[in-house]
Structure 1
Amino acid sequence: MKTLITGLAVFLILTNANAQTVYVQGGLNLANITTTNSGNTEENKLLPTFNVGFMGRFGLSKVVDLEAGLLFTGKGSKAETFFNGGTDYVKTRFNPLYIELPLNVVVTVPFNKTSASGFFFNAGPYVAVGIAGKSKVDTKFGPLTTSSTEDIKFANDDPFTSEQDDAAYDKLKRFDYGLNIGGGVKMKSVILKANYGFGLAKINSTAGDNNANDKNKYRTLSISVGIPLN
């Protein structure tokens, strides 16, 4: 596992070393998990979290380019249930953290014929490795309040086999994958972007068939700012 993560990180670092534009990215994630077989989510389960890392574009042309990166990103969801007119509650937060590697095709519409700045659209796959995270439960019933926090557990799965090693109902799959689609504005000193991560893997380690339906998959809207380093 550690060897694979290290190898992926080294690959992305070497890849971005050859990029024409390298930028540091940071921003807000609005994370959720699908709750129906058709892939719907519930608004009240939207979890604010974050993304931070670096991305690189290769400068293939002013219009069409490739982009790769290495991001530390939060996913998950929350739920809040209130009782007795809103005075009592049960609040849960489920926030796993991943190292994510996106690879996008970027299409830019320049502001004018001579400008390298413009509006852009991006789309492509991602893979992610779960490394940490917390689940938290807060309750209040009358004068009594409780709070508990637990570390999120990941199964020690091998991504190159069909078996889910070390699977259990209280563990997530170590590896996630899916598709990104988004867009934004690229200027000389800043890149503003919005991205939607469409998870394709069921998150529970006991789930064997990811294609059976679209329940229990990540959906993550990211709003980020990038600062070019070169």
Structure 2
Amino acid sequence: MKLKHIAAGTALLFGSFLSHAQSGQLRVGLNLANVSVTPNGRVNDANQLTSFQVGVIGNVKLGSSFLSLQPGLLYTGKGSKIQKGTAGQAGYYKQTFNPMYLEVPLNLLFKAPIGGANRFFIGAGPYAAVGIAGKVKTEGTNILGQTYNRETDIQFSNDDPTTFNKEEGAGLGLVRRFDYGLNGTAGIEGKSLALGVNYGLGLAKLQSGTNSSADNNNKHRVLSVTLGFKF
């Protein structure tokens, strides 16, 4: 499936939600990304990678003033890093893995007034994402003291999202194109700004051709702090 068709489909999906939104916000955020390294889903904090997100979030009220549905379309970075040794010394090695996704989160939010126009919000929901770009950067110093630095594009499998139980184009060294998982979010919003903390729990393994339901190893974990400009 061609990437432009996937991106167009993602945008149309978000557009269908946004058409029902009563308000929205432009969001920017700092991502603290990682990848689980154990079967039970734990991460190594030393592998945390700093990335970013930017996008649009909608707000659809659900009858009560306390409940709303929050769809979004985000360009967001995930991944992790590995580092051994000290920069400049023999044996030093560092690699960063930073795939970029178009992500559609859909959260159900509960909002409680805390004074004036300010509200506290908390919510959760699913997300779906498609990998569209990304880099693997490697640097280091060999045992002879020679430094090296290289950068390669991340290669994704050519998957078709309509065949949920089958991954087309899987192969060694390829990253699974489609990611999905669960979100949790909390924060404070006012008349014009919204400050939030979010956590994304990936349920799909990164390596193409692997069984995502086998265990929780090799899955995205993203903690983010976001600022929304309401419109």
TM-score, with length taken from structure 2: 0.93
Q: Map 1:138-217; keep pairs closer than 5 Å.
A: 138-141=139-142, 143-161=145-163, 162-207=165-210, 209-217=211-219
Give secondary structure in 1 for the equivalent of 2:61: coil
CA deviation string 1:92-127 (max 9, x = no partner): 000000000000000111114xx5521100200000
Partner Cα separation in structure 2 for residue 168 and residue 45 of structure 1: 25
Q: Percent same amino acid at aligned positions?
A: 42
Letter aligned with residue 151 of structure 2: T
- 1:132 aligns to what? 133
Q: Which residue of 1 aligns with 2:222?
A: 220
Conserved 8 A contact 2:57-2:71: yes
Instruction: Give me the CA root mean square deviation.
Output: 1.6
Match of 1:108 among 103, 108, 111: 111
User: How many angstroms apart in 1 are the aligned matches of 2:6 and 2:148?
Assistant: 39
Count of residue pairs brought into register by the alignment = 225
SS of structure 1 residue aligned to 2:17: helix
Distance 1:170 1:44 in 2: 23
**Structure 2 counterparts to residues 3-152 of structure 1, below 5 A:** 3-60=5-62, 61-82=64-85, 87-88=89-90, 89-112=92-115, 115-141=116-142, 143-152=145-154
Counterpart AA for 2:202? G
TM-fit CA distance, 1:11? 2.9
**What letter matches 2:125 in structure 1?**
G
Alpha-carbon deviation of 1:58? 1.1
Indicate conservation of the 8 Å contact 1:62/1:116, yes or no: no
For residues 111 and 49 of structure 1, what CA distance do their matches in structure 2 show?
A: 32
Bigger shift: residues 54-63 or 102-111: 54-63
Give distance in 2, aligned partners of 1:224 and 1:134. Answer: 23
**Structure 2 counterpart of 1:196, which letter?**
Y
* Residue type of the alignment partner of 1:134: K
Q: 1:21 deviation in Å?
A: 1.6
- Stretches of structure 1 lacking an aligned partner (at least 5 in a row): none
Listed as ranges, the gaps of 5+ residues in structure 2 are none
Q: Determine if contact 2:88/2:141 at 8 Å carries over to the other structure.
A: no
Quick one: distance in 2 between partners of 1:43 and 1:199?
Answer: 17
1:58 aligned counterpart, secondary structure: strand
